[in-house]
Chains A and B, each alone.
Chain A
Amino acid sequence: MPATAPVRPPEVLHLSLVLGAALRDADGTRLGRVDDLIVRLGGAGYPPITGFLATIAGRRSYVPAERVAAMAPGSVTLTKAKLDLRPFARRPDEVLLRHDVLDHQLINVEGARLVRANEVELARLDGWWRVVGVDTGARGGLRRLLPKALAGRIGTGDFVDWASLEPFSGEVPAMRLRVLHPKLARLHPAQIADLVEAASHGEGEEIMRALGSDEELEADVFEELDSRHQLEFVEERSDAEVAALLSRMAPDDAADLLAELVDERREAVIDLLPSGARRKVRALMGFDPAEAGGLMSPDFVSVYRQASVADALERVRRSRLPDEILATVWVMDARHRFLGTVALAALVRADPEAGVVDLEVQHVPHLRPDADFEEIARLMADYNLIAAAVVDDEERMIGVVTVDDVLEVLLPKGWRRRFGLLGED
């Protein structure tokens, strides 16, 4: 042994070696058995262990973490102070490591995947035992399959730091994720939607409930969900909540979702929409969904031919539309007839004082509302368009079909689905 102890990295303690361990008093007398560990979530950093559930003299008891002097593989030792046993009542921000985390799925924000905790790793940091991460690899699982004597020798496998993990609260869905966790907010709405689709009913609900506090994000995620999940969550909400959600979604996605509802519910929800959204949605629902009219977004940024580049840029700046729709600015005459397009990149590069008319691309082909997928796809491919205008009988522009709308439809069946036992329906 060296004379001076080197600075050692915090030692990792495997949860599986603590569960079932002997609970001893300060003299080493065995009092009972450790059943579960309680951690408090919600704060910054690694969540601290706040208490233990133990079986003492045949009774389930709660031992606060302050009463524990030492924790090691196979034994948990209490301090000298008198132990008063209390029944355990779970607080909203607490989870049980064995009951809720070990062997359960967690969200790994890194890569937006669901992982299963084969082992939970603990460490003593800042004078407190904390959860530092989970093991998702084979070693964590193997350790728990082996007899205790061998288990201690197995090291950590695929360690995932708690900083990128978000647990589910399990069977008590009302308890956690009520406030959107910053970890989830790091994900793209499409990634969150993928997670919801991959998770079980309860877990998916938990994620959606957590999104409730950020209404914009909730609407973005909803747009990305498949219709089955959309309907599932819509069924649990009141008409007013659904209307509020729909008004934040892109009108074409909102119309798609409305079309899935039963007739009475659909009318009730449409009546609750703000007038602008109601008008757009009603107009969209009048078109065949398999044609340009049903596929288009009725929102886009347009300018008159007399406008300057600065005017056009200002309109883009003020707009709250999604980026993909703003990539093209549409040029119209005073009677709203479609004349041509200007790419956003062209506007950015041009002299702000110049007129839009100098940049305008004319004779751009456009679509009728009854154009079918094939026609739309061929037009966009032939002319290298990322967006195409849809015009009515009087050549007035009524909407825009963007390339992502078309891709979604044309994607081969097998590609769309990420996994499945049954394949595509």
Chain B
Amino acid sequence: MRLQVRGRLRSRRSRVIVLLGLLGPGLIAANAGNDAGGIATYSEVGAKYGYTLLWAMVLITVSLALVQRSAARMGTVTGKGLAELIRERYGIRWSAFATLCVLVANFGICISDFVGVGAALGLAGVPAQVSVPIAAIGIWLVIVRGSYRSAERVFIWLTIPFFAYPVAAILAHPDWGEVGHALVQPQIHTSSTFLLLFVAMAGTTITPYMQLYLQSAVVERGANLDDLQNESREAVGGAIFADLIAAFIIIATGATLYVSGIHSIGSAADAAKALEPLAGQYAELLFGIGLLGASLLAAAILPIATSYVVAESLGYEKGIGRRTEEAPVFVGLITAMIVISGIVAMVPGVPVIALLIGVQVVNGLLLPINLFFVWRLARDEELMGEHRNRGPVDWVTALTVAITSTLSLILVAVTVLGL
């Protein structure tokens, strides 16, 4: 390793790392929003409301980019994970609360991703009772026994079929004038379904674990102040890229399902119809491969990110390179998460799409808690010095926290009052 870097070789190595950086934690973290739950939510949004919610995607993207950027910068400047900073700044009670929220949210997402695996292979006629255990064992082996890095590359390749959505969206000949209009003109419906989908959309796009994962990954990478610009740029770039795909999912479903009168998605097969303009009879196959890849990627990263958070906030030994004996809590939590999620996902007759969206709603509800800490910590002078969030960046982050909190509270009220 150190031997390849002497002399002239170094410059070449740096360039390779920059290239790999494009496929780094910034992109992975944000793109994880496009996992099984994300696809289900965006498809449902497109089917139910056509393009009318695209304007929300724009706002969500701005928020996501700023929040991800804050997390990347905190990791770069302090060299500490988000859970670690919450613990050191706000004490063990707050960090335990935030950790609990993340644990609940991540468990939900992990289940939804195993459901995604089952649904994807279900399109090929493989029952979930067969595909999910195999996927769970495979993921466990990769994380605990194998090389995570190489597996990560495989997962990234598996998500490439999602590029099919932009192509499908264009081939479906949407009314671009209408799309453009929807992007800039906020339209609000006063129904609880609308609110629910709105919160689910924010919840799946800005997931708490993305910030936690990104910040820990930046720390693990060993980024220091020299990398601050690169890390910030990558975080923002990843957020924009991921949300572009999400927007195209909405456009593709809006231009196919919505216009042909299918306003609700009951199964993965329904969602796959959005790819028909591109793939015709192979739409299901393409959709299945993409869903499988996205679900596997998220199902592998989630347990790791969760264990990191728990280990950081409780002060246990962490790290996936460690053997079970060296980090029992860390490895135990990963194992428990995979096993329980896998078992839940195998329950026969589980309403796939409803479950996926339900999990995103819970995510949306818990979102403000983590965002609050990101906002407070990123503007902290003692911690971040001259690199702290100031001016418009700070205001918009605060606004994001305020809006997501308000939405969450309204949703709770609506659900409790049964409106």
CB contacts under 8 Å to B, within A205-237, are: 226-229, 232, 235
Pairwise interchain contact B321-A414, C-beta atoms closer than 8 A:
yes
Instruction: Find chain B residues with CB under 8 A from A255 CB.
Output: 6
Interface string of A243-274 (1 = CB under 8 A from B): 00000000000011001100000000000000
Q: Which positions in A face B, CB cutoff 8 Å?
A: 102-104, 115-118, 136, 138, 141, 144-145, 171, 199-204, 226-229, 232, 235, 255-256, 259-260, 285, 289-290, 294-295, 409, 413-414, 416-425
User: B315 touching A423 by the CB < 8 A rule?
Assistant: no
B→A interface (CB under 8 Å): 1-7, 10, 17, 25, 77-80, 87-88, 91-93, 95-96, 147-150, 152, 213, 216-217, 219-222, 224, 226, 304, 308, 314-315, 318-322, 327, 382-383
Chain A, Cβ-Cβ closest to B25: A422
* C-alpha spacing A396/B5, complex, angstroms: 28
Contact of A138 with B314 in the complex, beta carbons under 8 Å: yes
User: A422 to B148, Cβ gap below 8 A?
Assistant: yes
- Whole-angstrom CA separation of A141 from B4 in the bound complex: 45
> Do B3 and A200 touch (CB < 8 A)?
no
A418-B319 contact, Cβ under 8 Å, with A141-B92, A228-B222, A423-B148: yes
Q: Given A418-B321, A420-B320 in contact, is the A259-B96 Cβ separation under 8 Å?
A: no
A141-B315, A145-B96 given as contacts; is B149 within 8 A of A424 (CB)?
Answer: yes
Contact of A256 among B6, B221, B318 (CB under 8 A): B6
Cβ-defined partner of B224 (8 Å) among A201, A290, A424: A201
User: Do B224 and A103 touch across chains, with their CB atoms under 8 A apart?
Assistant: no
Partner of A259 from B5, B91, B216, B217 at Cβ < 8 Å: B5
Give complex CA distance A135, B168 in Å: 58
Pick from B7, B17, B319: contact of A425, CB under 8 Å:
B17
Q: CB-CB < 8 A to B88: which residues of A?
A: 103-104
Contact for A103 among B87, B213, B221, B320, CB less than 8 A: B87
Q: Shortest Cβ distance from B166 into chain A, in angstroms?
A: 28
Name the A residues within 8 Å of B87 (CB-CB): 103, 116
For B327, the closest partner residue in chain A by CB is: A419
**22 A–B contacts from the bound complex (CB under 8 Å):** A102-B91, A103-B87, A118-B92, A118-B314, A138-B314, A141-B96, A145-B92, A200-B80, A226-B2, A229-B222, A232-B224, A289-B3, A294-B3, A419-B319, A422-B148, A422-B220, A422-B221, A423-B147, A423-B148, A423-B149, A423-B150, A423-B321
Instruction: Please determine whether B92 and A420 come into contact, CB atoms closer than 8 angstroms.
Output: no
- Find the A residue at minimum CB distance from B315: A116
Residue on A nearest B385 in the bound complex, by CB: A171
Chain B residues contacting A423 (CB-CB under 8 Å) are 147-150, 152, 320-321
A418 touches B322 (CB 8 A): yes
Q: Contacts of A116 on B, CB cut-off 8 Å?
A: 87, 314-315
A399 to B405 Cα, complex, angstroms: 67
Option from A117, A199, A259 in Cβ contact (under 8 Å) with B6: A259
Contacts of A103 in B (CB 8 A): 87-88, 91-92, 95
**Contact (Cβ within 8 A) A200 B78:** yes
Could you say which residues of chain B place their CB within 8 Å of the CB of A294? 3, 6
Contacts known (A201-B224, A260-B5); A419 close to B322, Cβ less than 8 A: yes
Having A259-B10, A421-B319, one finds 4 other A-B pairs with CB under 8 Å, namely A289-B5, A417-B321, A420-B320, A421-B304
Q: Are B382 and A419 in contact (CB under 8 A)?
A: no
**Are B25 and A414 in contact, CB atoms less than 8 angstroms apart?**
no
Roughly how many angstroms separate A115 CA and B216 CA in the complex, as a whole number? 18
- A407 CA / B96 CA spacing, docked (Å): 43
Q: Which single member of A203, A227, A422, A424 contacts B217 (CB below 8 Å)? A: A422
**Chain B facing A: main interface SS:** helix
Q: Across the interface, which residues of B come within 8 angstroms of A228, CB to CB?
A: 222
Closest 7 CB pairs of A and B: A419-B319, A116-B315, A200-B79, A423-B149, A259-B6, A201-B79, A289-B6
Bound-state CA distance A203–B79 (Å) is 9
Partner of B4, one of A229, A290, A418: A290
- When distances are taken between beta carbons in the complex, the residues of chain A under 8 Å from B382 are 171
Q: Once bound together, how far apart are the Cα atoms of A203 and B80, in whole Å?
A: 10
Assembly CA distance A116 to B311 (angstroms) = 10
A116–B88 Cα distance when bound, in Å, is 10
Question: How far is B223's CA from A422's CA once the two chains are assembled, in angstroms?
Answer: 13
**Shortest Cβ distance from A181 into chain B, in angstroms?**
22
In the bound complex, do residue B149 and residue A422 qualify as a contact, i.e. CB atoms below 8 Å apart? yes
**Beta-carbon contact of B2 and A419 below 8 Å:** no
Q: Are A421's CB and B224's CB within 8 A? A: no
When distances are taken between beta carbons in the complex, the residues of chain B under 8 Å from A227 are: 2, 5
How long is the Cα–Cα vector from A116 to B148 in the complex, in angstroms?
Answer: 27
B19 to chain A, nearest CB (A): 13
Chain A positions within 8 Å of B77 at CB level: 201
Chain B residues whose C-beta falls within 8 Å of the C-beta of A289 in the assembled complex: 3-7
Given the known A-B contacts A228-B222, A285-B7, A294-B6, are A144 and B148 also in contact in the complex, defined by CB atoms under 8 Å? no
User: Which chain A positions have C-beta within 8 A of B79?
Assistant: 199-204
For B213, what are the chain A residues with a Cβ–Cβ distance below 8 Å? Answer: 421
List B contacts of A138 (CB < 8 A).
Answer: 314
Q: Smallest CB-CB separation from B219: which chain A residue?
A: A200
Set of chain A residues within 8 Å of B314, measured between Cβ atoms: 116, 118, 138, 141
Chain A residues positioned under 8 Å from B17 (CB to CB)? 425
Hey, which chain A residues are within 8 Å of B93, CB to CB? 144-145
The minimal Cβ–Cβ distance linking A335 to chain B, given in whole angstroms, is: 31
Contact, CB under 8 Å: A420 / B321? yes
Q: Please give, as numbers and ranges, the residues of chain A lying within 8 Å of B222 by CB-CB distance.
A: 228-229
Q: Which residue of A lies closest to B10 (CB)?
A: A260
Most A Cβ at <10 Å: residue of B92, B95, B224: B92
B315 close to A421 (CB less than 8 A): no
Instruction: Please indicate which of the listed interface residues A115, A138, A201, A204 has the most CB atoms of chain B within 10 Å of its own CB.
Output: A201
Q: How far is the CA of A419 from the CA of B147 in the complex (A)?
A: 12
Q: CA separation between A118 and B213, bound complex, in Å?
A: 24
Q: Return A77 CB to nearest CB of chain B, in Å.
A: 25
Contact present for A421 and B320 (CB under 8 Å):
yes
Q: How far is the CA of A229 from the CA of B79 in the complex (A)?
A: 12
Give A228's nearest chain B residue, CB to CB.
B222
Q: Which residues of A contact B78 (CB under 8 A)?
A: 200-202
In the bound assembly, the distance between CA atoms of A260 and B96 in angstroms comes to 42
Chain B residues within an 8 Å CB radius of A295 = 3
Contacts of B3 in A (CB 8 A): 256, 289-290, 294-295, 409
